[in-house]
Amino acid sequence: MQTHLTSNRIPLLNSFTTMSSQAPNRKVLLIGATGSIGSIILSAILSSPNPPSVTILKRTSSTSPLPPSVPVISLPSYDAASAPLSTLVPLFKGFDAIISCQTTLSVSNQLHLIDAAIQAGVKRYFPSEYGLNNMRSDTQSLCPVFKEKGTVQRYLRDREDRIEWTSVSCGTWLGWSFANNFLGLDVKNKKVKYWDDGEGRFSITTEENTAAAVVRAVTTHWDETRNRNVFLSDVVTSQREIVDEIERQIGGGRGGVEKFAVEKVRSEEEIERLKGRLEAGEGIAVLGLIEAGLASGKFGTDFEKEEEVMNERLGLASKGLAEIVREGLASLGDHMMDDLLLAETMLRISVRPKPRLTIYLSGQTTFHDKVGMVQEYDAVRGVTRPLSESEPALCSAWSRRQTKNSVRWVIPLSAVVLNRANQKRKAKQPRSPEG
């Protein structure tokens, strides 16, 4: 479940609330730092109280923006998986851990990276997992992506005498699913495709808790997470429970519950149909099989029932379904303008006399095909336009830039969401970003 470009949400508040011990300053190489989870892991690393030393590996041809303070190793035009070992081994030397956040459809390329890491003396490899239990035989037979991820994990298990490993299985990300019409959900058009009756149980974990787990495995819980699949679950739910909560939240402000149009598919028949399409060369069918594995509830996705969940041991923030749905809805483009207008109201309070206002916001959006597109909203003219990647992009906290005629606030979407909730609670006394 990964896409390209900047972070979907950058945590405003530090989620690292419990630390087991003072962690050594390990050196980490991050691959895929601009992807949907890689960007959030990078943010979590940089905001942790005792951050490891992080370096980013990227292609020379990549133009995705990266924090200027983070060292970058650039490869030639080919990607890491196709680079010769003679190139990769010297680059990997000296790192304690490699964290792979490669896209879902590129995970099989990791065997080459693992070989390079072993030769370079890297202590631990974190494969690009971030899904269900890919060591189950029924899961591997369902979808080639699950089989490839299981192959990577088996490859690491067979080499534990030469390199340690930690994989993270988090179920699915609800915010990402809303933005990408995954789990059978089309929130924008209020439609849902239920797998069977929509009652299949599966674990969901926020992207922020997933990233926090990875960082803590590197820093404070290194020994506990050695050579194991770390299972995470913020909550176990179903398609129906998610839709019920969405209907309640989007209808609540208008005096009722807005109902979704419902379609149902029989999982066995739909899986066979998708496998047939895949065999016929329709590669896009693999996404449907991934959805079946996560949403049908038939492939061991209730981690709290079937696995040892490590949220509490890792000290992750506790979140319920209502909060996760609320955050996911707020990250969608349909709600973005409401959030921006609220941010404009907050900004007007703090500026005297009121100059021209411009808000830069980063986060998931359905206004454009590129998830994470950076938007500019002119609060005076009430217009929105996409920014080029060379213009101001992400930040991890409020940032004020003032000139004679304008004030700019650079705002992560999570900050807008948090302040939107705060504004609703204190509508009669709105607060400024500084307050």
Nearest to 165 by CA among 234, 89, 113: 113
Contact by Cβ (8 Å): 202, 170 = no
In this predicted structure, what is the pLDDT of residue 406?
36
Torsion of CA 147, 148, 150, 153, to 10 degrees: 170
387/373 Cα distance (integer angstroms): 8
Does the predicted model carry a pTM greater than 0.85?
no
In this predicted structure, what is the pLDDT of residue 106?
65
- Arithmetic mean of pLDDT over the chain: 75
- Residue 16, Ramachandran bin (φ over 0: left; ψ between -120 and 50: alpha; else beta): beta
25/219 Cα distance (integer angstroms): 8
The single-letter DSSP state of residue 329 is H
The answer on pLDDT for 252 being more than 60 is: no
pLDDT digits (tens, 9 = 90+) for 295-354: 999 999 999 999 999 999 999 999 999 999 998 888 775 333 333 333 333 333 233 333
- Going by pLDDT thresholds of 50, 70 and 90, the confidence category of residue 25 is confident
- Going by pLDDT thresholds of 50, 70 and 90, the confidence category of residue 213 is very high
Give the helix ranges, DSSP H, for 79-169. 85-92, 110-120, 137-142, 144-157
Give phi and psi for 54, each to the nearest 5.
Answer: -110, 140
Q: What SS3 state is found at 91?
A: helix
383/403 Cα distance (integer angstroms): 21
Torsion of CA 51, 60, 33, 27, to 10 degrees: -30
The residue type of 130 is Y
31/145 Cα distance (integer angstroms): 19
- Going by pLDDT thresholds of 50, 70 and 90, the confidence category of residue 379 is very low
- Domains (range + CATH), the chain: 27-239+272-329 (3.40.50.720), 332-425 (no CATH)
The answer on pLDDT for 61 being more than 70 is: yes
Give the helix ranges, DSSP H, for 55-109. 85-92
Angle at 237 between CA 235 and CA 239, to 5 degrees: 145
* Angstrom distances, CA of residue 356 to CA of 347, 353, 405: 11, 10, 6
**DSSP calls for 146-215:** HHHHHHHHHHHHTTTTT-EEEEEE--B-HHHHHHTT-TTEETTTTEEEEETTS---EEE--HHHHHHHHH
Contact by Cβ (8 Å): 201, 236 = yes
The residue type of 186 is D
pLDDT digits (tens, 9 = 90+) for 108-150: 789 999 999 999 999 999 999 999 999 999 999 999 999 999 9
Angle at 368 between CA 362 and CA 374, to 5 degrees: 20
Edge-to-edge strand order for the sheet containing 261-265?
Answer: 185-186, 191-195, 261-265
Contact by Cβ (8 Å): 297, 199 = yes
Higher-pLDDT residue of 416 and 81 is 81
In this predicted structure, what is the pLDDT of residue 105?
60
